[in-house]
Structure 1
């Protein structure tokens, strides 16, 4: 049974993993035996995280690239495959948020959200999947959101981008499952992170959140690690095209 969830000998690339939830996932995956590849747009920040993990006795590498630049992604994935080793698991975690009322939403902010949250999933997955198809195995995990299913004030483009990630996950599953590649998603609910700190400190919002969530609290980021381990491990070999909600039951109750 220990092998079922073991990540020993698994090489996992986590995009956007120099901070936030991506950094936390990289740590948790490393603690379960994975060799992790840290990514952000800046090599020094990526390397700092990799150095921290290596100092703890884990195996980590830093490869910086812009997930929205197909040429940079291609060069970086080729480098990883040829110099670090085959990518067994890809976690598309990189994402951004912008908040404006719908009628005032700047087109530039809309474009940035779609490029980072949606287009990058397509670009990075496509390039990594070409290698996985040749090996006839692999796992891709897309980080979605509860907003894959729900709308909310001031974040309509974000919700649209995460809805698209849900359908990218399903479409990729249909096309890649025949090559023994599992494509799934993790959809977090409301978690205490640096991006949600203002909402956490807003008593009115926090009170509303706790009333609407069956678990009656915010999620702690560490509670996402189990889902990532499951979808990265042998335990999920026949799970495909699935969006795993980690939301304290909120979606079930709304």
Structure 2
């Protein structure tokens, strides 16, 4: 039901988890731990799933704060619970307040959790290709710094997202990445169809490593390939299904 990383487990007063799709109350295409308020799933079921996710991660029994994610580089400092009926349009959340549980929703995009245990600052970022290219990870770290975090003390983890073997992109797709840095060509592998396979997790990890953080971890799960464990937008698209569930990744201070 939950993926954790040892490096976070060793941090004092930090609780986290990359939730799978298992262990919830939803059914049908949302089976079973769908935590997306933007889906057509029954709202009561979504809130129950979110409560289960926080319990699994060992977080306090308090509302989960998530944003209306728009694939941007916008980041919000959260100092009080967010109104989940009017969510802010951002893709990164950071806080230093104990009991403020942060979450990001994904279904192939990269969930990134960050923590500076010494400063008592945590962050959560939604990093699809567009947001990652636009700088959402850098902006999340900068926002954490405004709360007293230091880069050399920040641990970051890139959670389950679409894997390179599942992520075929067109011939034009690599251009903005390579224009940003020629070294980004290493995240694209040519395939037999003369298209490319993109390593989203590798790209996100490299962006974080360039910030000289204390540690960067990649869980390595492919959300598109592991159907029993994860929701996937790409898999939904290939099948022509009407909607898809979202798994949640959570972090907070206790």
Is the TM-score greater than 0.5? no
* TM-score (structure 1 length as normaliser): 0.40
* TM-score (structure 2 length as normaliser): 0.40
